[in-house]
Structures are given as structure tokens and as C-alpha cells.
Amino acid sequence: MALQPASELAAAASKPYPNDSAEYRAARTALLAEEIELRRHIERVAAQRRALPPGGEPPDYAFQDATGKTLGLGDLFGAHDTLVTYFWMFGPQRERPCPMCTAFLGALDTPARDIGQKVAMAVIGRSPVSRQLAFARERGWRNLKFYATVGDDFARDYRGLAPDGSEWPALDVWVKRDGRVRHFWASELGGTQDPGQDPRGAPDPTPLWNILDLTPAGRGTDWYPKLEY
């Protein structure tokens, strides 16, 4: 279906706010057309993502839940056929978890109940679940489900643990078809940023940065979230 040109949509939708100058309104209308094009590009990328061929079958990793029960990756799906996992930087060597991982997970905790109606979601760390849960309760999180890796194979294979022992966040999507688990998509964070940018996803899923990108100063280059202010 042919889409109406973004410039036409923007011109029809653009209405001045009180005391807008003609210069501001013209610039805002031009920006609105670009935002419409961006939305369309995001939709095209999402369609291309959904059309990915089957990914690789993961090895037989083991995880522990809050009760200490050992589970396989396939068990984390529950009744769903799709699983979203987030490996966060909270290994046993860290006194406190990564502030940016914390900002991302904090934004997921409330909608986790809604997300859980469609897909399973699991937060995975190298620290015991009890330690992860203690921090979650400190933050007031109530809905996220936490699991601990058994060994480091999962973290290493899916880019959460570098050869030097440093941790990276890893957002992955998995599917289960006919009882077989396959890797569907990963954020593949690191090394894709443009010059002058911090490492970030493409696109960046973190609400914190998306909101700051709406502001005049943007996300800046020298500010990061903290665990305490």
C-alpha cells in the first residue's frame, strides 16, 4: 500500500502552539516529517526482524531460580513460545550492579506484568538469585523474575562475559518450536556506535535515553545514571 508522503502528513498535523514563531513552526513541521519517516523505518526494521530465519540451537545451559531449583533454558519459557532474557552486570565480583542495567530493568519492572501476557521474560545474572532479589527489593521492583547462571558458559557464549572477565549487558530473544529452543535475536551491543557515541543498542531500548534524546541537551557525553543521588 502506497503511503502518503511524510511531508504531507506533517503539514496536515502540524498546528501552532501559543506564540509559536513562523520560524519555529516551519522547523517543527520539517522535524515532524523526519519523525514520521523514522517511525516508518522502525516499522520496516521490525518487519525484517520478524522475518529472520531460525537462529542456532543453544547448548544445554543450566540456571537456578529463586527456590534453588536447577532449570534449563527451555524451562524459562513457561507456557509461552517466546522468551526475552536480559543478562545484567551483577556478577559476584561487583559490590553493586551496573547503574545503567539498573535503569533499564527499573523501566521494565512495572510493564513486566503486561509483557508477561505475551512472552516470558527472565533477568539473568552471575550472582545468586538471593543477592539479585535483595537488590530488586531495595529498588522496589516486584514483577521481574531473576535467575542465576550455573557456571559462566551462557554468559561467555552470549556476549555477557568478555575474555578478560568484564561483564556486558546482553538482551536476547529466544523461540521454542516443537520443543526445540532457538536463538532468535540479540542486541549485539558494542562496536556498532558511531564516532563520539557511547556504546548503545541499535535501536536503543532504554527509556531513560529515549526521553533525554527529546530534550535540548540530549543525553550528553558526561552523565550516567547512579544507584543513589
62 located within any domain: no
pLDDT tens readout for residues 35-82: 999 999 999 999 999 999 999 999 999 999 999 999 999 999 999 999
> In whole numbers, what is the pLDDT of the chain averaged over residues?
96
Is residue 104 included in any domain, yes or no? yes
pLDDT class of 202 with cuts at 50, 70, 90: confident
Inside any domain, residue 25: no
Q: Which residue has the higher pLDDT, 102 or 194?
A: 102
Q: Could you tell me if residue 169 is inside a domain? A: yes
Q: Decide if 45 is inside a domain.
A: no
- HEC string of the chain? CCCCCHHHHHHHHCCCCCCCCHHHHHHHHHHHHHHHHHHHHHHHHHHHHHCCCCCCCCCCCEEECCCCCEEEHHHHHCCCCEEEEEECCCCCCCCCCCHHHHHHHHHHHCCHHHHCCCCEEEEEECCCHHHHHHHHHHHCCCCCCEEEECCCHHHHHCCCECCCCCECCEEEEEEEECCEEEEEEECCCCCCCCCCCCCCCCCCCCHHHHHHCCCCCCCCCCCCCCCCC
Residue whose grid cell is 509559536: 20
Q: How confident is the model at residue 191 (pLDDT cuts 50, 70, 90)?
A: confident
Looking at the structure of the chain, the number of domains it has is 1
Mean per-residue pLDDT for 182-208? 88
Residue 132 sits in a domain of what CATH number? 3.40.30.10
In a domain, 160, yes or no: yes
pLDDT bucket at 199, cuts 50 / 70 / 90: confident
Residue 190 has pLDDT above 80, yes or no: no
Q: Quick check: is 95 in a domain?
A: yes
Pairing mode, if any, of strands 82-87 and 180-186? unpaired
Given a cut of 90, whether residue 196 has pLDDT beyond it is no
pLDDT over 70, % of the chain: 100
118-172 pLDDT, tens digit per residue, is 999 999 999 999 999 999 999 999 999 999 999 999 999 999 999 999 999 999 9
Model pTM? 0.94
CA distance 168 to 201: 12
What does the pLDDT read at residue 112?
Answer: 98
Q: State which residues form the domain around 173.
A: 75-229
| Residue 222 is assigned to a structural domain of this protein | yes
